Chain A
């Protein structure tokens, strides 16, 4: 990986070169360096396996040049280069950006602000300096913990227990430097985080348990690794012999993972200026209106102290700040990047698309990120609107046991899988299957576990977030596979969700 000081030095030199191009009016140089390291967990008690599939990584350094032409400020182009941070490369990329240019009548220029941005010290993090050894050791610690815990259980005594331990330990480290003709300084940012998601299946018991953790320090990673494997197996052991309730409408408690999954796949994409401009937000025409229960608030918090995703500047060089999305159930803000902010502002159908409650809403471009696979900041991508730490908070929250009491008789759903907007994003309809960590609720208490993959939810986001019976007091961290955001969400008790019973004869 390139050091931040090297990225900044290169950005400054590249800016000087691009500024000399007489055809260039505005420009922006964005440099990124990232290293994504992953140890894949793969233990199967009855199938030959590697334990850790392999320790792997992909690293990427590079820069992107975006230019707007002097002859027409709406004519802009972009191009990138990997690996080679030299002035020769800048010349080649600049020529490509010229060739790529198009005249977009809505191009607003690049983000700006003449004043230098004063940033707090970079978040400390020994994870950024950690070698491969502690990551490999931590990953094996998860596997050993899972196997050790399982070995002490009755389930291990059967001849073919079919224990499966899967998941990963992922460490992501990225740095960026950015300079623009609209800034007076070179801006930089750096972050490192780990996440680990562990799934334990005991197929002989038809049981599945999970555990996950996120953090920013080596010590946290080691502590998490020491218990994640044990936790996942323990949960699976308590979920043996699951019930298969019939189709119907149930009162439910949705645990943090299902709430995060539904937010990720169904809600966050709708809470962007781009979605409203494209007329495909699930909240079309409802800006300012009540879209969730009045006890719920939702925000993106890039500077959250305990958040796994720390951002000090966006990938457009603007200070990353909190964006309130839903306050007391009302839709009050949207994630936005610079282009989309101005594109929606210039949209002649803006009033209709947003609704009457949006009068004068500014939609600051506080969420413009360029993210590649794994959520790393990438020099290859154009800015898009994205969250960081998505936090749902609840007013009048109760303890999780109180949520279960509120439901009385129903279901506790701890994990769902494959959540998708089945009729397009704007309809808000979704479906997913209940894949583990779930129970029947009887007389206000957790009763028998639910068999994994026995129920499918067929519902709509309004039914989830507006038919709330009670809200959890605490926000829990939750990981969604493939999502760049980290979620911190409470459990919710929901009045009536539609379920259909599915597949009763398979693994």
Chain B
């Protein structure tokens, strides 16, 4: 294996990973299933604050995770072990030793779990009858390779490129004047190569390029008003997407400097705007694609995760308003007006695009809401087995050493036919809600309060005064039922930081939607 390149670990495991698993399975009695994931990541990054350089970074990391299902005492247990190995991946012998040790550790954990489960079944009898043997929904083995897409390989990117880009952007923001109390601009470009091998005969190698720019601005006005804004642009492309912008129909983004300036100007304008004093009654709200991205994320995407719906996240991220119990779900029932449709689709280009999930299942479009009717969950192989469905390729980990969880991909509201101008023009009195800020969602996502960056009055079909610190408060189902117009302006937004699981895994994805009109209460400051 060539020195100084952790990506060579991919080639080594492509050739020898399956045999490593097969040897392990042969030599350990009771192994029912095992898989191995390995990943190498090269990342170059930089940040500038208030027009001064703050950080430069170059890292090359590697890690792996192994999952083992084993039988003991008539029960099946599961064990997992992940590790960051870095330059250990440079040497086949050391990498093989580390993976074997992890497989042994995961195997022992699976056996310990199986033993305890068996004892619980004996001790508790009928009370524990749902302690199933945890099968995986079947799917055919897959052998494929998917290359990362980029014009500028992150590994050959000059160290100075992200430094200069962030510095220029941060200086430009500072140059807007003293109303900008603080700004920080960060850029990152990375290449990820990962491999998945399983004892069922799958061998999948996938590459991803991610480039992401973040900007945080604090503006304050002489009147005492202040505004903090954080936002992100991201593309599954090389650094060119940040330096030049990326013109894509679904997920367009400006270059990082333009983006930072737009955000700073918005913060400046908002700091001078009055705080929204909300009416004490439900009002007509027109929500834009950026706001609807967070709505799709929190109120449709998360509750459409089968692990959450099956109560596996009840102690953390909560449950789902789409499933009360296994035989009382919203599937086939109306949860919105016929104008509302939503799906997760990893096959589309977006920040959440992929071909295969981290269980080796092909990703595909899953309709969550089809013309107002709830139609399905994104799932993993284990949850698909519980639900009696085919796995739909939605189990992914944020880093290779973590277990895959069910995750959104590109999750969004589908477009309608109305022009956004028409949707606003039809409103006598109402509010135009632009760009999401912070969500607060009830435990099953059955209601929400999502704050917006900008809220405008609409009077006689025209956009009027701007307010800050506004938020939309609604019962989820009621909000969707009241949707009476959906725009033709679908946009996806890069979401860089969706948290889920224990330990918290922070995942990248896309969310979005078109302009929509409904009714809701508004909250203010």
Which A residues lie at the B interface, using CB under 8 A?
36, 38, 40-62, 77-84, 86, 88-89, 92, 96, 99-106, 132-133, 136-137, 139-140, 143-144, 147-148, 150-151, 156, 160, 162, 164, 166-168, 170, 197-199, 201, 203, 210, 277-280, 349, 373-374, 380, 382, 417-427, 429, 431-433, 435, 452-453, 456, 458, 481-482, 500, 502-503, 505-507
Contact = CB atoms under 8 A, between A and B. Distances in A.
A45 to B, nearest CB: 6
A313 B81 CA distance: 29
A84 B319 CA distance: 41
A503 B473 CA distance: 11
A54 B80 contact: yes
Interface string B104-118: 010011101100110
Contacts of B84: 58-62, 82-83
B475 A502 contact: yes
Contacts of A49: 130-132, 310, 312
Contacts of B525: 423, 427, 429
B312 A100 contact: no
Given A170-B502, A482-B499, A48 B55 contact: no
Nearest to A89: B87
B425 interface: no
Interface stretch (B245-253, B353-361, B437-445): B437-445
B502 A503 contact: no
Contacts of B86: 62, 81-84, 89
Contact of B88 (A84, A148, A150, A427): A84
Contacts of B171: none
B487 to A, nearest CB: 26
Give me the 8 closest cross-chain CB pairs, A-B, nearest first. Answer: A82-B86, A166-B315, A83-B86, A102-B53, A84-B87, A48-B132, A374-B503, A56-B80
Given A160-B325, A203-B324, A132 B105 contact: yes
A47 B388 CA distance: 12
Nearest to B503: A374
A367 to B, nearest CB: 20
B83 A60 contact: yes
Given A82-B86, A132-B105, A418 B440 contact: yes
Contact of A136 (B55, B112, B401): B112
Given A83-B86, A166-B316, A279-B181, 16 more contacts: A43-B128, A46-B326, A48-B386, A54-B78, A59-B401, A82-B62, A84-B87, A100-B57, A136-B112, A139-B116, A144-B120, A160-B325, A374-B502, A422-B471, A503-B475, A507-B324
Given A83-B88, A132-B105, A47 B503 contact: no
A128 to B, nearest CB: 17
B78 A50 contact: yes
Contacts of A40: 502
A60 B503 CA distance: 14
B403 interface: yes
B56 interface: yes
A100 B163 CA distance: 9
Given A82-B84, A420-B438, A168 B182 contact: no
Interface in B449-473: 449, 451, 468-469, 471, 473
Contacts of B124: 144, 147-148, 151
Contacts of A106: 52
B246 to A, nearest CB: 26
A359 B193 CA distance: 53
A57 B402 CA distance: 8
Given A44-B311, A166-B311, A422 B132 contact: no
Task: Say which size band chain B's interface belongs to.
Answer: 35 or more
Contact of B55 (A201, A382, A431): A382
Contacts of B313: 166
Of the candidates B77, B181, B310, B321, the one having the most CB atoms from chain A within 10 angstroms of its own CB is B181
Interface in B72-128: 77-90, 98, 105, 108-110, 112-113, 116-117, 119-120, 123-124, 127-128
Contacts of B105: 57, 132
Interface stretch (B197-205, B220-228, B234-242): B220-228
Interface string B477-515: 100000000000000000000010011111000000000
A421 B324 contact: no
A248 to B, nearest CB: 13
B131 A507 contact: no
A373 B82 contact: no
Contacts of A427: 226, 469, 525
B58 A166 contact: no
Contacts of B447: 456, 502-503
28 contacts: A41-B315, A46-B130, A82-B63, A83-B86, A88-B87, A92-B87, A99-B159, A102-B53, A103-B53, A104-B53, A144-B120, A147-B127, A162-B325, A166-B314, A166-B315, A201-B314, A278-B182, A349-B181, A373-B506, A374-B502, A374-B503, A382-B55, A420-B440, A431-B440, A453-B442, A458-B449, A506-B324, A507-B444
Nearest to B403: A56
Q: Max chain A CB contacts within 10 Å: which of B128, B311, B321, B326?
A: B311
Interface hub of B90, B227, B312, B473 (most chain A Cβ within 10 A): B312
A421 B112 CA distance: 43
B318 interface: yes
A57 B81 contact: yes
Contact of B523 (A60, A422, A426): A422
Nearest to B61: A82
Contacts of A424: 226-228, 437-438, 469
Given A54-B109, A164-B311, A96 B87 contact: no
Contacts of B442: 417-418, 433, 453, 456, 502-503
A317 to B, nearest CB: 20
A50 B134 contact: yes
Nearest to B95: A83
Given A136-B112, A197-B315, A199-B315, A38 B503 contact: yes
Task: Identify which of A88, A92, A106, A166 gathers the most chain B CB atoms within 10 Å of its CB.
Answer: A166
A170 B501 CA distance: 13
B20 interface: no
A418 B216 CA distance: 22
Contacts of B220: 279
A90 B119 CA distance: 49
A187 B316 CA distance: 37
B321 A507 contact: yes
B54 interface: yes
Contacts of A88: 87
A507 B320 contact: yes
B496 to A, nearest CB: 15
B31 interface: no
B56 to A, nearest CB: 4
A371 to B, nearest CB: 11
A54 B79 contact: yes
B59 interface: yes
Given A40-B502, A78-B57, A432 B116 contact: no
B132 A102 contact: no
B56 A77 contact: yes
B339 interface: no
B46 interface: yes
A482 B503 CA distance: 7
Interface core residue of A105, A349, A417 (most chain B CB under 10 Å): A417
A102 B503 CA distance: 33
Most A CB contacts (10 A, CB to CB) among B53, B132, B313, B523 go to B53
A505 B67 CA distance: 39
Contacts of B63: 82
Contacts of A435: 443
B112, B315, B403, B469: most-surrounded residue (chain A CB, <10 A): B315
A418 B316 CA distance: 10
A54 B402 CA distance: 12
Contact of B469 (A92, A278, A429, A507): A429
A309 to B, nearest CB: 15
A199 B441 CA distance: 19
